[in-house]
Amino acid sequence: MGYFVPNIFLFSVYLIGSLVYLGNAEPVEDKNALLEFVQKLPPFKPLNWNVNSSICTSWNGVTCSEDRSQIIAIRLPGFGFNGRIPANTISKIKGLQKLSLRSNNIIGPLPDFAVWKNLSVVNLSNNRFIGEIPLSLSNLSHLTYLNLANNALSGEVPDINLPLLKQLNLSNNNLQGVVPVSLQRFPKSAFIGNNVSIGTLSPVTLPCSKHCSKSEKHGRISGTVMLGIIVVGSFLCLAAFIVFIFVLCSKKKDGDVFVGKLEKGGKMSPEKVVSRNQDANNKLFFFEGCNYAFDLEDLLRASAEVLGKGTFGAAYKAVLEDATTVVVKRLKEVAVGKKDFEQHMDIVGSLKHENVVELKAYYYSKDEKLVVYDYFSQGSISALLHGMRHTFDLVFPFKLLLKLLLILNCLKS
């Protein structure tokens, strides 16, 4: 018996030590790969990456898996990376699922996507990538979003048959040839700005021979008619445009410009949210410890869904292009100066409690004030407290007791 007790003690110490280790575990190899990446390709905009800080809780633009065993998302838009992606850096992060390096100044060929088997989101738009689109993209069976727009990519559009791919943008490159059948389900805007054609026949201009003389004459005769059609059409378009501007201005005066009629998957244009004459220095401010790396442009382009309305404005569920989901609350009825607003945001952002959703970021301008929170899919507090009001509840006393206990817990906190 005396021998058995020390064994139990040693096992307990080992178990506690293992749990502590697992709680503090981080993907060390992935962390070193990212540190080497920014060392060889330093950004113009400073990052809060530090070798002594936690990569999973402190580093901007980095998201880890729930068990902190690997990095699953890198979002670094507009940080001013200038040069080629260094070899053997981010390619070492095997568990990567989302990669966004858009709006930088990255040059050279695209990375080899074969090393990332689990990629679902890729956004490398608005850089200076050259060369052909690699066929290794066809191995990304989980890919749902691909944006390579506004680069200098050349060659033909590869035949990447990805059934899960929902959004594609290859516009404004130097691509040529015919769009493969597997990609013809996407709109023409996905390929605009390239020398490509949709279908098997490319647009060809044939030289006119002698037998075309009659058709040329007929073309000259019909030119007057065509001119009349163009003039009338231009007038109608101008009238329609004036009516559209008038209706839009009246809606801006009377309605909530941030709500509108949000269609499924629709986009929130920046003009509807932020005034065109806004201060250029106004931007999203992220609190320390927040690992989001999107900007105001990303937020305003997100698809929106109204969650509810309160005293100070409406709340929206915003899904960004890289599938990041946040809650944006528009403070419509708040008239306060920038300094006072920032002081209040600092107070709210400093609140840390297990029952209070932390404020992650805010935006201030003269016309608009936005606050950003994490999105939780478990429903609202109202639904948990009140349930379905249209049904008769036979266990009302028990639910009332739970509500009182919840309220008492909040008051004690």
- Compare 161 and 13 and report the one with higher pLDDT: 161
pLDDT at 385: 60
In this prediction, residue 266 carries a pLDDT of 43
Q: Is 90 exceeded by the pLDDT of residue 119?
A: yes
Alpha-carbon gap, residue 4 to 10, rounded angstroms: 10
SS3 27: coil
Non-local CB neighbours of 306 within 8 Å, separated by 6+ positions:
259, 262, 314, 315, 316, 317
Could you read off the pLDDT of 292-351 as tens digits, one per residue?
Answer: 767 777 777 777 788 887 777 888 888 876 667 888 888 877 777 888 888 888 888 877
Q: Which of 20-34, 46-60, 184-198, 326-340 has the lowest mean pLDDT?
A: 20-34
Does the pLDDT at position 190 exceed 90? yes
Instruction: Answer yes or no: are the C-beta atoms of 302 and 284 closer than 8 Å.
Output: no
Tens-digit pLDDT profile for residues 257-277: 344 433 334 444 333 333 333
H or E element in which residue 40 lies: helix 28-40
57-77 tens-digit pLDDT: 889 889 999 899 999 999 998
Strand-pair category, 105-109 with 128-131 = parallel
Would you say 255 and 262 are in contact if contact means Cβ atoms under 8 Å apart? no
* Contact in structure between 341 and 369 (CB atoms under 8 Å): yes
Helices first, then strands: H and E counts in the chain: 8, 18
Question: What CA–CA distance (Å, rounded) separates 299 from 371?
Answer: 11
- Has residue 83 got a pLDDT over 90? yes
Comparing 155-159, 215-219, 269-273, 360-364, the range with the smallest average pLDDT is: 269-273
pLDDT at 339: 80
pLDDT at 247: 55
Predicted confidence at residue 100, as pLDDT, reads: 92
The secondary element (H helix, E strand) that includes residue 362 is strand 359-364
- CA 289, 292, 293, 299 dihedral sign is negative
How much is the average pLDDT of 25-29? 86
pLDDT band at 229 (very low <50, low <70, confident <90, very high): confident
- Signed CA dihedral, 357, 358, 361, 364: sign only: positive
Residue 218: both structure tokens together: 């007929």
Q: What angle do CA 239, 244, 248 make, to 5 degrees?
A: 150
Q: CB 93: neighbour CB atoms within 10 A?
A: 23
- Tell me the per-residue pLDDT of 192-215, one tens digit each, with 9 for 90 and over: 999 999 865 444 333 443 333 444
315 within 8 A of 308, measured Cβ to Cβ: yes
| pLDDT category of residue 16 using cuts at 50, 70 and 90 | very low
Q: Which pLDDT score is estimated for 380?
A: 63
pLDDT of 284: 77
